[in-house]
Structure 1
Amino acid sequence: MSGGFGLVVRFALRDAEAAAGFDALVARTLPEIGAHEPGTLVYTVHAVPGEPLLRIFYELYADRRAFDAHEAQPHTVRFLAEREQYLSGVEVTFLEAVAGSGGRWQESS
């Protein structure tokens, strides 16, 4: 599998009020990502059934440079600063693609 840079981020939120604030922040940020980041291939936010204070982000970028460009965007910098008030914890797992299908991804021969 060639190319691609991904990560999974697990956000633990302080309480129901913090979850609502975090979700509002996400809702303000997502349109900016879609409008200004051609190298961001997937940016999906998941709620977890039965765990209302947990959010999981799945992010896939064309390459590491696209991720770095995402991190430097004003809307991302704002999100990273503002999110702290809502969190009780965060875990980040970086991913390296080794195989897959769909979209532009193809296994290399």
Structure 2
Amino acid sequence: MTTGFGLVVRFTLRDADAAGAFDELVSRTLEDIRRDEQGTVVYVNHRVPGEPNVRVFYELYKDRAAFDAHEQQPHIKKFLEAREGLVSRTDVTFLERVDGKV
């Protein structure tokens, strides 16, 4: 059984306009992820109550190779470039599963 490979990414967006544009960008990118990335198990954009300019991604991949393949996708490279004008801070936490229900 694969252990998976996960991460949490916290984005602080520049302002309310950037937050709206970021959400649209993520939705467009998710269309390609759903279609092209079999190794991406979970990829979710979350709002944070009380912090309107913060978004948190939870990402889970089949394994490290699936994550590496995700990072090389043209739609992800396009996303990374486009988000630069919208984000003021990005914090990434990589995860190792200890236990859980899958």
Q: TM-score range by the shorter chain?
A: over 0.9
Q: CA RMSD in A?
A: 1.1
Could you tell me which runs of 5 or more consecutive residues in structure 2 were left unpaired when the two chains were aligned: none
Could you tell me which runs of 5 or more consecutive residues in structure 1 were left unpaired when the two chains were aligned: 103-109
Secondary structure at the aligned position of 2:84 is classed as helix
Normalising to structure 2: TM-score of the pair?
Answer: 0.96
Aligned residues: 102
Normalising to structure 1: TM-score of the pair?
Answer: 0.90
Question: Once the 2 structures are TM-superposed, how far is the Cα of residue 27 of structure 1 from its aligned partner?
Answer: 1.1
**Kept after mapping to 2: 8 A contact 1:2/1:97:** no
Q: Which residue of 2 aligns with 1:106?
A: none
CA distance in 1, matches of 2:34, 2:74: 14
1:2-37 deviation per Cα after TM superposition (whole angstroms, max 9, x unaligned): 521000000000001111111110111011101100
Measured at CA, do residues 2 and 98 of structure 1 come closer, stay the same or move farther in structure 2, by a change above 3 Å?
farther
Q: Give the % identical residues.
A: 62
Q: Which residue of 1 aligns with 2:62?
A: 62
Q: Which structure has the larger Rg?
A: 1
